[in-house]
Structure formats: C-alpha cells, structure tokens
Amino acid sequence: MKVLVALKRVVDFNVKIRVKPDGSGVDLNNVKMSINPFDEIAVEEAVRLKEKGIATEVVVCSVGSKACQETLRFALALGADRAIHVDGDDSPEPLVVAKVLAQICKDESPSLVILGKQAIDDDCNQVGQMLSALLDWPQGTFISELGIEGTVVHITREVDGGLEKNQISLPAVVTTDLRLNTPRFAALPNIMKAKTKPLATLELSSMSIDITRRLETLKTMEPPVRQGGKKVANVQELIDQIKKVI
Ligand code: AMP
C-alpha cells in the first residue's frame, strides 16, 4: 500500500511574525521556515504504517518554490522513501494545491493520502477536503487515531463535543490533528541518508492545471493589542461585568 503525504513549508511555529509596514503581507526576510507541524505528524504516521508492515512506500509531496526541497529532505530524513517537488508559485492557493495533489494521485495511485488539518501560516483548513471532493474519495478530517484493517480505515476524529469514531474505506484522504502522534527527531545518519533519496521535480506550469488566483488579500494587520485584565472583588461584581459585555 502506497501512502502519499502532502507537506507545506511554513514560517516556523516559534517565530514571532512581523507584518510588512505597508500591510501587504507577512515579512519573510530572514525568517526561519520549517515543515508545517501537522504535516510532520502526517509524515510520522505514514512512517509508522510502513514500520508496521502496512504501508510499502511513503511518498512526500510539496508544492511551492525551490526552497520546499529542503522541507522534503527533512521528511525523507524522518523516514519517507521518495519526494516529489512541484515547482511553482511561492504561496499557491488551497484549490491549486488540491488540484496538483489530485493529479499526482492519478499518476501515483496511493491508497491513502495524509495531510495536515491546516497549514499554520494561512489556517485555511481546505486542501484535504477539496482533494477528497476532486478524487471522490472518502475523507477523515482532524484524526487523532488511525488503524487500517484490509481496506477499512478506522479513525477517531476530534470534534467539538469530544471524539467521534468512524470507518471509511480505501482509497481515502485523512487529515491529522495534534494528538495523532509525537513525531520523532531526525537522527544525523538519517539526515545524511536523506540526501541520496530520490527527489523528483515537476513544473506546475506543465501540469495543465488552472492556477488562476481566486483569492485577493486586501490587507494584513497585526492583531489588536491585548487589554489588561481586571480583578473583581466578588462573584456579584464578576456577574455585573459579564452582563455589561453581553
Ligand atoms: P490548508 O488547507 O492550506 O490549511 O492546508 C492543509 C494541508 O494541506 C497542509 O497541512 C498540507 O498537508 C497540505 N498543503 C497545503 N499547502 C500545501 C502545499 N503548498 N504543498 C503541499 N501540501 C500542502
């Protein structure tokens, strides 16, 4: 069973981002970039499936500028077998990414595609759902547990009211939530080994995909500065304060 993992290169989660003075976006100059944390969890889950003898090959794929290759090499160091870099726009829209992944699924025929539930830079939470719709495959989003028996995928989803257990059938698309696993560290010998693992590059422009931009960013702003809290003397005063704001 082949597993495809989609991964995005994003601003590292430890970085305090700065908005460009003209409000045209986030300043990415000299900013540390890393694999999207949910995608690191996706790679870990795929590698565990391979270690359990369920998956036979783990292929990782990223759409974006040439710098994505560094992120793909990191995933190869975590245990993925092969990488595909789709070279194109630095910040492709979710629909474009979903169309590219759908095309790759047609060429590669994976049984399972694992994505992060969202990219932490634009928080779209769209690609997995769009990919599932384009392929007409079942989807399991926000999963915190995954088990595979034959062609049945047992998933636990994190929903507002708690946990939801479902079954879907392969081929399928799943998206990872934080509690699915704790990714391993990339050991130095594996980082060295990853340099020689296969990494293929495809040109986005040669894929016959409509890449017309459908989203327009009007302005990027810093969030409002947080106001200081206030201590209340007793419960009645707390209730009065709450009543004032609702
Ligand atoms: P989003 O819908 O943009 O929040 O992203 C959800 C998931 O889609 C991410 O966690 C990745 O697994 C995948 N994804 C998003 N953008 C890309 C990209 N440029 N290349 C590969 N995978 C991506």
> Is the shortest distance between the CB of 93 and ligand 1 below 6 Å?
no
pLDDT of 224 higher than 90: no
Per-residue pLDDT tens over the stretch 40-56: 999 999 999 999 999 99
Which residue's CA lies nearest to atom 19 of ligand 1? 63
> Is the shortest distance between the CB of 88 and ligand 1 below 6 Å?
no
> Is the shortest distance between the CB of 204 and ligand 1 below 6 Å?
no
Which residues fall within 8 angstroms of residue 163, CB to CB, at 6 or more apart? 144, 156, 157
Distance 229 CA to ligand 1 centre (A): 37
Distance 52 CA to ligand 1 centre (A): 26
How far does CA 12 lie from the centroid of its chain?
A: 13
Question: Is residue 16 in a domain?
Answer: yes
Ligand 1 mutation target, pool 3, 4, 8, most atoms within 8 A of CB: 8
Q: Which residue has the tokens 């060429």?
A: 107
Which residue's CA lies nearest to atom 15 of ligand 1? 8
Ligand 1 mutation target, pool 3, 5, 10, 36, most atoms within 8 A of CB: 36
pLDDT of 229 higher than 90: no
Phi, psi (degrees; rounded to nearest 5) at 121:
-85, -50
Per-residue pLDDT tens over the stretch 175-210: 999 999 999 999 999 999 999 999 999 999 999 999
Radius of gyration from C-alpha coordinates of the chain:
20
pLDDT of 31 higher than 90: yes
Question: Is residue 168 in a domain?
Answer: yes
Task: Look at the chain and report how many structural domains it folds into.
Answer: 1
pLDDT of 156 higher than 90: yes
pLDDT number for residue 90: 82
Kindly state the average pLDDT of the residues 111-124: 96
Q: Can you give the CATH number for the domain in which 10 is found? A: 3.40.50.620
* DSSP symbol at 225: P
3-class state of residue 85 by DSSP = strand
Q: Rounded distance, CA 243 to CA 246, Å?
A: 5
Question: Is residue 227 in a domain?
Answer: no
Question: Is residue 223 in a domain?
Answer: no
Q: Rounded distance, CA 37 to CA 245, Å?
A: 36
Question: Is residue 246 in a domain?
Answer: no
> Is the shortest distance between the CB of 97 and ligand 1 below 6 Å?
yes
> Is the shortest distance between the CB of 62 and ligand 1 below 6 Å?
yes
H helix runs in the chain, sequence order: 37-51, 68-78, 94-108, 127-135, 188-194, 235-245
Question: Is residue 229 in a domain?
Answer: no
Which residues fall within 8 angstroms of residue 193, CB to CB, at 6 or more apart? 76, 77
Q: What is the mean pLDDT of the chain?
A: 95
Query: How many other β-carbons are positioned within 10 Å of the β-carbon of residue 17?
Result: 13
User: Cβ(36)–Cβ(7) under 8 Å?
Assistant: yes
Distance 116 CA to ligand 1 centre (A): 7
Per-residue CA distances from 31 to 14, 26, 121 (Å): 10, 10, 13
Residue type at 118? Q
Q: Rounded distance, CA 141 to CA 149, Å?
A: 19
pLDDT number for residue 245: 82
Atom of ligand 1 nearest to the CA of 129: 2
User: Cβ(39)–Cβ(8) under 8 Å?
Assistant: yes
pLDDT number for residue 225: 87
pLDDT of 230 higher than 90: no
Question: Is residue 244 in a domain?
Answer: no
pLDDT of 243 higher than 90: yes
Q: Which residue has the tokens 């304060």?
A: 241
Question: Is residue 234 in a domain?
Answer: no
- Give the pLDDT band (50/70/90) at residue 246: confident
> Of the candidates 36, 19, 38, which has an alpha carbon nearest to the alpha carbon of residue 27?
19
pLDDT of 91 higher than 90: no
Ligand 1 mutation target, pool 13, 112, 127, most atoms within 8 A of CB: 127
Helix (H), strand (E) at residue 25: none
- Give the pLDDT band (50/70/90) at residue 32: very high
Q: Which domain holds residue 139?
A: 2-218
pLDDT of 143 higher than 90: yes
